[in-house]
Amino acid sequence: MDAASEMQKIAPEERRPGVWVCTTPEAAAGEAARRLIEIHAECVAARGEFMLSLAGGNTPRALYRLLASPDYREQIDWAHTHLFWSDERPVAPDHPDSNYGMAAKELLDHVTVPKEHIHRMEADWPNLGRAAQVYEVILRNLLPLDSRGFPRLDMVLLGMGADGHTASLFPGGGNPAGTSRWVSTPMVEKLGTRRMTLTLPVLNAARHVLFLIAGADKAEALRAVVEEIPREGGGVLPAALVQPFAGERVFVVDAAAASRLQA
């Protein structure tokens, strides 16, 4: 069964406020696409543009592929859409690990976003700190500020790792809420590499945050995040800290990822 007909098959169940459980990863991608199209239409109608930050990793691949398909891509005003990234690995855009590269293959190569509206995080620069400063200037030039002085994206797509990280905000990475920076370049100990990422205050400045999460390996972290269970040593997981100050947060997940949430 293809993704589009899968999406029509069973409506998602709201297992918790803001936590929508779909039968399969394909159905979750379909629900995320439906919500993105709806939000995009509201934003373009209200402000003439749609400022969207894309998630990295593998889970969003199915979503981007769906958005690139004829049924879906015709519903989006790509000419008035700007694309940003929530985080990026320190690799060239054509490297297999590049979040930009994955989005380009699955989405950008199939839709007509003006190239000046595609704002790649240039995390392959030798001076990552300088690249982060340049990205902050791009955000400043294009986005309104929220009441806390942080750039306000219309929609931020996020994934979540099995350890509860999101974007490139990892457990043990210091106090993500305590920064005034908009873009940071944390050393990710467990990966032994730096990343470039939007900071928590920028994620929390968004009008809409949508977590797309699939797979049984995420079930324990999702339970901890949704129920805000503190970790040993205190504090909740980074994904749990994403709670927009003046915006909406939803989780669109498959049944496997939701398997630890009480029915």
166 binds ligand 6PG (CB under 6 A): yes
Question: Stretches 24-32, 66-74, 119-127, 160-168: which one binds ligand 6PG (CB under 6 A)?
Answer: 160-168
First to last CA, the chain: 27
Question: Stretches 105-113, 157-165, 198-206, 251-259: which one binds ligand 6PG (CB under 6 A)?
Answer: 157-165
- What is the size of the binding site for ligand 6PG (CB under 6 A)? 14
d(CA 72, CA 75): 5
154 binds ligand 6PG (CB under 6 A): no
State which of residues 24, 53, 98, 99 lies at the interface with ligand 6PG (CB under 6 A). 99
Dihedral of the CA atoms 97, 101, 102, 104 (nearest 10)?
Answer: 180
User: Hunting for tokens 């239409």 — which residue is that?
Assistant: 41
β 87-88/81-85 pair status: unpaired
State which of residues 35, 40, 165, 208 lies at the interface with ligand 6PG (CB under 6 A). 165
The amino acid at residue 118 is: I
Dihedral of the CA atoms 138, 170, 201, 231 (nearest 10)?
Answer: 170
Residues 6+ apart with CB under 8 A from 107: 64, 65, 67, 68
Q: How far is the CB of 91 from ligand 6PG (least distance, A)?
A: 11
Contacting ligand 6PG within 38-67 (CB under 6 A): 55-59
Residues 191 and 240 sit within 8 Å (Cβ to Cβ): no
Question: Stretches 36-44, 64-72, 102-110, 163-171: which one binds ligand 6PG (CB under 6 A)?
Answer: 163-171
Question: Stretches 46-54, 111-119, 154-162, 227-235: which one binds ligand 6PG (CB under 6 A)?
Answer: 154-162
Residues that bind ligand 6PG (CB under 6 A): 55-59, 86-87, 99, 159-161, 165-167
